[in-house]
Homo-oligomer: A and B are copies of this chain.
């Protein structure tokens, strides 16, 4: 039952994608290797032809989703702030509440990542640094390190707001938290644009 190299690569990618969905939806601890493999249509044993351990998969699944996140935050330097507002809207969207398997892996796996293996935390750190770097470009006319400090504050606010809104069981409060922080970040961005023009 050997498969071609192309097929093997596709299978590997499909496992990573299924894992990312399950980890984000149900948590890392709560998701089993057999469950992930079943989603892809395979049995548990085959897993170890692609990965050394579940931990390795965690790191790769996180990295894959974080790459998407960073790429989507990347806006051209001249693209204006409309695009940035769009991104804010997207990240702090009400649609990300409840059953999320898209969205930000930092929010979805947050406290589990802090307890993950050294390897996973290292990958996670890289993703966070990339995100800070990209967000720093959002700040027009500011020079490092000020833009970088601003980016850290923005990211902290977004991660915190998304985390809180997902814990809260009152849908109105959930939405309120997202809206308040979204508005605050947008206002602050607009003020900076104004100061530059």
Contacts and interface: CB of A to CB of B under 8 A. Distances in A.
- What is the oligomeric copy number? 2
Given A114-B167, A124-B167, A152-B181, 11 more contacts: A106-B163, A108-B111, A121-B168, A128-B168, A149-B180, A152-B164, A156-B156, A156-B157, A157-B160, A160-B161, A160-B163
Interface stretch (A12-20, A22-30, A44-52): A22-30
Contacts of A110: 110-111, 163, 167
A159 interface: yes
Q: Which of A114, A121, A152 has the most CB of B within 10 A?
A: A114
Nearest to A174: B125
A80 to B, nearest CB: 25
B29 A167 contact: no
Contacts of A170: 125
Interface residues of A, number: 44
A102 interface: no
A152 B167 contact: no
Contacts of A153: 157, 180-181, 184
Contacts of A160: 155-161, 163
29 contacts: A27-B29, A27-B111, A27-B115, A109-B111, A110-B167, A111-B163, A111-B166, A114-B163, A114-B167, A118-B169, A122-B169, A124-B169, A125-B167, A125-B170, A128-B167, A129-B173, A149-B180, A152-B161, A153-B157, A153-B180, A153-B181, A153-B184, A155-B160, A156-B157, A156-B161, A159-B159, A159-B164, A160-B160, A163-B163
